[in-house]
Amino acid sequence: MRLIIASGNRGKIAEFSAMMECTITPFYEVIEEIEIVEDGTTFAENALIKARAIYNQLNDNSIVIADDSGISIDALGGAPGIYSARFAKEGATDKENLQKAIDELQKRGVASSPAHYTAALAIVSKYGEYVVHGWMYGSVINTPRGNKGFGYDPIFIPNGYNKTLGELDDSTKSKLSHRAKALELIKPIIMMLKEKA
């Protein structure tokens, strides 16, 4: 039974593989690229939309995992939220989205604001659908620090730390991350599905 991830983000794929401690196949290695319209109103809805779209293209026993994740910044009214991957514009790069968040904070004269990351992981298989969530709380600053990680990591400082995710080492980040927390919750589900297969 293959484990397929419905993501083209190489940073995310590497993070998933390391945390799951198993081989995860990116969807584009098994099917042609398809356009998926993420028109859900929550992280969970968008994760399920992605997982179902890939699963429906496969004619086998694969388990498809998809995540939808993002950052919500209090000073920006919870933005970018589900629009984190396209905050600057449709098809924006991580760098452009990060810059947009910094610009919005600076425009408001905000040096620091409470914020949190959300990760919703959806699993779709012939045995059913599941969704789990993980969260990481902290604050954002309006000046990036560090070049590790991806996305908004250079401006996010987790609670209890004085370094951004862009400055923290991978092992520390993997213990704190919203995605790591969600992955811990799906591990037993995947084990159960593999046993059924």
Structure confidence by residue, pLDDT tens digits, 137-150? 999 999 999 988 88
Counted domains in the chain:
1
Segment 114-134 mean pLDDT: 96
> 5-19, 77-91, 137-151, 154-168: which range is least confident on average?
5-19
CATH of the domain at 21: 3.90.950.10
Which range of 20-24, 57-61, 150-154, 174-178 scores highest in mean pLDDT? It is 150-154
Helix (H, G, I), strand (E, B), or coil: what is residue 69? strand
Which residues in 23-46 are b (16+ Cβ under 10 Å) and which e?
ebebbeeeeeeeebebebeebbbb
pLDDT, residue 11, reads 73
- Say if residue 158 is preceded by a cis peptide, omega within 30 of 0: no
Confidence of residue 9 (pLDDT cuts 50, 70, 90): confident
- Distances in Å between the alpha carbon of 127 and those of 82, 143, 162? 28, 46, 44
Residue 96: pLDDT over 80: yes
Residue 126: pLDDT over 80: yes
- Distances in Å between the alpha carbon of 118 and those of 73, 100, 112? 11, 19, 19
Kindly report the length of the chain: 197
Range of the domain at 104: 3-196
Structure confidence by residue, pLDDT tens digits, 29-65? 998 888 888 899 999 999 999 999 999 999 788 999 9
Which range of 6-15, 20-29, 53-62, 125-134 scores highest in mean pLDDT? It is 125-134
**C-alpha to C-alpha distance for 92 and 179, rounded to whole angstroms:** 22
- Pairing, β 25-26 against β 3-5: parallel
pLDDT, residue 104, reads 98
Does residue 68 have an active-site annotation? yes
pLDDT, residue 128, reads 93
pTM above 0.95, yes or no: no
Q: Catalytic residue, from 39, 67, 68, 170: name it.
A: 68
Segment 114-122 mean pLDDT: 97
Roughly how many angstroms between the first and final C-alpha of the chain, as a whole number?
7
> 15-19, 140-144, 181-185: which range is least confident on average?
15-19
**C-alpha to C-alpha distance for 37 and 110, rounded to whole angstroms:** 33
